[in-house]
Structure formats: structure tokens, C-alpha cells
């Protein structure tokens, strides 16, 4: 089995890009000093993210293919949260020289599989030597001629709705961390998130006032929306009962409060938005927008449990 050090950078890159197709949005893919990506309406939505081995994923839990899918999915969700459609990804990857080249090929296969789910391509990237795996992803998105949906804009009296599911990734993490077998779907949902692809555009077309990707936790991310909009938000646990029920058995097995996962667990990459008018199909109302000051209440009270992920917390 060849390693990255044995093959060398350019041979590995050649293997990773050989035979890959590109969507129409990628006019020029890997092979030159820069890619060329078409921007339909003259604007490009851009987001970037990093995954570091041991911090954001573990290779004793995840396969390289899983890591590739996760890296692309969480970045695609950021474009969805702006009301756009992902069109192309640029990938930076670092790994030790002794890394099997087959593992890197599996990583790339996972990235391509997830990118193809949203009709996007991988336009280029970089490969470097690094003490552990580091995956840096930049995504480009097409807003389709619409205004971007920002975190600011929610108004008192509007409804808060969610597309996607909550608490699954946090439940899966707890199961993995405690070595509890079973609950295969929840364990899998921690390794590979399932953003509600296409629902960001649906929300934008329905007149969403504000929107955010739930990457850090529902309370934390709704808090960002509330702060940006200068409003309060009151979340309704009755409307979130299906999420609680989906993780309750796992919570009992771990000895955890299922609400801590639903309200404070991140990495599900659901979308939350404020709507003044009708909520589109595949969205469910989970709360309402209040007059300021900016705050997040749960059933009218301050939430005292975990609010979400902190990047620099130990």
C-alpha cells in the first residue's frame, strides 16, 4: 500500500482528480494555478471551515469517506443558510507522509459523493504534509438572483421554524464517547450530518427574514440570529418533542437529559429561519420572535442547560 510520502504530492493529486466530472458551474477545474467558477448573477456566496483530527473527527470512529462527506456537508449548509445553492468546493488537506494514499482517495470519494448530492463540483485545492489530518474547505455558492438571507432581519411577531432534525449528532457523539453499541442511526448521524439540502432556497423564496445553520447548537445559533436582529426568541418545547423522542432512549442509556442534546447539541446542520408569512413545506414552527432585548427563552424562561459548542473550550 503506497503512502503519500512514497507517491509524492503531484502523483497523489493526479490520482484524486483523474476521471472526475464537473458541473456546468465549474468552467475550469483542477490542473492550473486557479480554477474558474461561473457566477450566475455576478455575486458569489463564500464560506470556509476547518476540521482537525482529534478535535472535529476521530479516525477510530470515522472512515476517511465519512470525514470527506462531513467536511463538504457542513460547508454546504452555510450556503443553504444564506438562501443559496453550493456550486463548487476548494479543498486544502494536510496529513503525515506515512498516510496511506488509499485513505486519501477514500476521503476524496466521500467529498465528491456529498458534493454531487447538491450538484456541485470540487474545483481545486492543495495537499501538504502535516502532523495530523487537517481538512480545510472553502465553498462557493450561487444566490440565484435573490438577496442573501442574513442573520439580521427577524421582526417581532414572526415565527421561528426549522428544517431538518436536532439532537441526533450530539446523541451519536455521546454514544461513541461512552462506548455504547446499538443506536446505529444516531451513531451514524454524528459521523455524517444530513443538512436539509434545498430548504435554504425554499426559505428564501418564501420570504425568510433571517436564517442560520444550526452548527453549534439550537439555543446558541438562535441566539446569534436574535443578537443580529435585535429581537428575542421564545422556543416551544412542545414543537420540539419529536426531536426529544428520537433521542430519549439513547439519553437514558447514557444517563443524559435529551433536551440538552436537542437544545444544546450541534453539528446537525438543520436550518432555522424567521418567517412573517406562511412557512414552506418541510419546515416546522418551533417558536416566535419577541420584542428586544436580544435573548433566547425556552417556554418563556431562561434556558440554563448547555447552549452549544465553543471552539476554544477545553
- Residues annotated within the binding site are 33, 47-49, 56, 78, 125-126, 151, 213, 215-216, 267, 309
What sign results for the dihedral spanned by CA atoms 8, 9, 11, 12? positive
Residue ranges of the annotated binding site for substrate are: 56, 267, 309
313 vs 194: CA distance, rounded Å: 25
Can you say whether residue 207 is alpha, beta or left, with left for phi > 0 and alpha for psi between -120 and 50 degrees?
Answer: left
Cell of 267: 453539528
Three-class DSSP labels, 103-132:
HHHHHHHHHHHHHHHCCCEEEEEEEEECCC
Classify 229 as helix, strand or coil.
helix
Q: Crossing angle, helix 168-177 and helix 184-191, to 10 degrees?
A: 100
Q: Is 54 exposed, middle or buried (0-12, 13-18, 19+ CB in 10 A)?
A: exposed
CA distances from 139 to 121, 142, 252 (A): 10, 10, 38
Q: Would you list which residues are annotated within the binding site for Mg(2+)? A: 33, 47-49, 78, 126, 213, 216
Binding-site residue set for ATP? 125-126, 151, 215
Amino acid at each position: 500500500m503506497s503512502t503519500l510520502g512514497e507517491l509524492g504530492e503531484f502523483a497523489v493529486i493526479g490520482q484524486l482528480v483523474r476521471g472526475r466530472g464537473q458541473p456546468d458551474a465549474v468552467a475550469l477545474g483542477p490542473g492550473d494555478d486557479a480554477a474558474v467558477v461561473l457566477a450566475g448573477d455576478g455575486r458569489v456566496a463564500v464560506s470556509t471551515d476547518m476540521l482537525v483530527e482529534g478535535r472535529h473527527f476521530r479516525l477510530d470512529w470515522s472512515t476517511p469517506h465519512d470525514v470527506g462527506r462531513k467536511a463538504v456537508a457542513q460547508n454546504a449548509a452555510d450556503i443553504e443558510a444564506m438562501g443559496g445553492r453550493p456550486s463548487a468546493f476548494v479543498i486544502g488537506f494536510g496529513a503525515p507522509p506515512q498516510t496511506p494514499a488509499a485513505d486519501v482517495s477514500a476521503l476524496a470519494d466521500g467529498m465528491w459523493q456529498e458534493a454531487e448530492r447538491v450538484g456541485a463540483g470540487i474545483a481545486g485545492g492543495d495537499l501538504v504534509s502535516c502532523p495530523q489530518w487537517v481538512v480545510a474547505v472553502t465553498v462557493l455558492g450561487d444566490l440565484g438572483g435573490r438577496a442573501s438571507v442574513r442573520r439580521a432581519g427577524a421582526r417581532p411577531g414572526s415565527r421561528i421554524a426549522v428544517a431538518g432534525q436536532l439532537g441526533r449528532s450530539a446523541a451519536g457523539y455521546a454514544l461513541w464517547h461512552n462506548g455504547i453499541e446499538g443506536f446505529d442511526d444516531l451513531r451514524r448521524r454524528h459521523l455524517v450530518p444530513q443538512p436539509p439540502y434545498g430548504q435554504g432556497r425554499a426559505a428564501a423564496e418564501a420570504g425568510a427574514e433571517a436564517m442560520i445553520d444550526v452548527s453549534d447548537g439550537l439555543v446558541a445559533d438562535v441566539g446569534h440570529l436574535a443578537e443580529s436582529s435585535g429581537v428575542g426568541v421564545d422556543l416551544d418545547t412542545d414543537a420540539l418533542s419529536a426531536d426529544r423522542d428520537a433521542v430519549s432512549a439513547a439519553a437514558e442509556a447514557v444517563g443524559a437529559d435529551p433536551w440538552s442534546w436537542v437544545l444544546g447539541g450541534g453539528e446537525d446542520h438543520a436550518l432555522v429561519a424567521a418567517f412573517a408569512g406562511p412557512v414552506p413545506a418541510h419546515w416546522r414552527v418551533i417558536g416566535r420572535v419577541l420584542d428586544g432585548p436580544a435573548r433566547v427563552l425556552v417556554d418563556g424562561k431562561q434556558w440554563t442547560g448547555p447552549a452549544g459548542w465553543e471552539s476554544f473550550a477545553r
